[in-house]
Structure formats: structure tokens, C-alpha cells
Amino acid sequence: MLEITKQSDYGLLLVSRLKEKKEYVPLSSILKEVKLPKRFIARIAALLVRTKILESREGKEGGYRLTKKAAEISLYEFFKIFEGDIAMTKCMMDGHRCPLGKNCPHQTFFKRVLKPSLELSLKKYKLLKVV
């Protein structure tokens, strides 16, 4: 089964809640809508601030909002923030050495065909177009 981590999933959810907002939105307001763990969402928000997808402001008028970079970032770049190497199996990961070596019948297909195809597909879509 192919799946992304909860961090990527919740990161997409957070971005989708901020997509139409121009003002800063308090995390507490987002948490009321999504009903997810505060500490986990706060860590995801902090990571998105460090990667310049979100900006934050403290205080009464504070919260989070999307940056201009958010409109330019591809789904591939977004997933790399949370997932690191984009791979469906370990043998697709850069630098992984398969214990079966050259005896693996599908390793070449995964590395040379499937991985580049997956990456190219994710690069075609902008983050704000899919959330």
C-alpha cells in the first residue's frame, strides 16, 4: 500500500485551512475545525514556517498564514519536506543497497522508471491547486 505520513497529510490539511485567508489565523481556530492534536499540528506548522511556506506572528493578532512561496511550491517539494526521499519501496531510495543485489527482478524498474515517473507527476502539480 502506498501512503504518506500523518505529517504530510496534516500539513496538507493545515495549508488547505489557510489557503483562502489573507490574515493571520490562530492555531486554536484551525484546531477547532480539524480536531487534531495541538502539539503535533504546532510542530508541523513550525516546520512549514522554517521552510517558508507559512509565516507566523505572535500576539493578539497573531497566527499563521501562507507565504508567496506556497503558491509556487510543487507537491513534490512539499512532500520532500516531510517524507525526505520520495520512494514507494526502500530500493527506490537514493543510496539504498538491496540485499538481493542484481538478483532482484524489479529493482531496475523501480529506480529507473517508477521513481522518476512518480517524481515528475508530483512536480506537475502546485500545492495550492490540490488543497
Residue 103 lies in a domain: yes
Residue 59 lies in a domain: yes
What digits encode the pLDDT tens for the residues 71-84? 999 999 999 999 98
Q: How many CB atoms lie within 10 A of CB 87?
A: 18
Residue 46 lies in a domain: yes
Residue 82 lies in a domain: yes
Quick check: 54 and 83 in contact, CB under 8 A? no
14 confidence band (pLDDT: 50, 70, 90)? very high
At 115 the pLDDT is: 84
CA–CA distance, 42 with 63 (Å, rounded to integer): 11
Residue range(s) defining the domain that contains residue 98: 6-130
At 20 the pLDDT is: 92
Residue 22 lies in a domain: yes
pLDDT at 1 over 60: no
Query: How much helix, strand and coil, in percent to the nearest 5, is found in the chain?
Result: 55, 10, 35
Residue 63 lies in a domain: yes
At 2 the pLDDT is: 61
Residue 1 lies in a domain: no
Residue 92 lies in a domain: yes
What digits encode the pLDDT tens for the residues 82-122? 998 887 777 767 777 777 777 878 777 887 888 889 999 99
As a whole number, mean pLDDT of residues 5-22 equals 95
CATH number (domain holding residue 66): 1.10.10.10
Q: Could you tell me which residue, 107 or 123, shows the higher pLDDT?
A: 123
Q: Looking at this protein, which amino acid is placed at residue 9?
A: D
At 13 the pLDDT is: 95
Q: How many folded domains does the chain comprise?
A: 1
What digits encode the pLDDT tens for the residues 35-66? 999 999 999 999 999 999 999 999 988 999 99
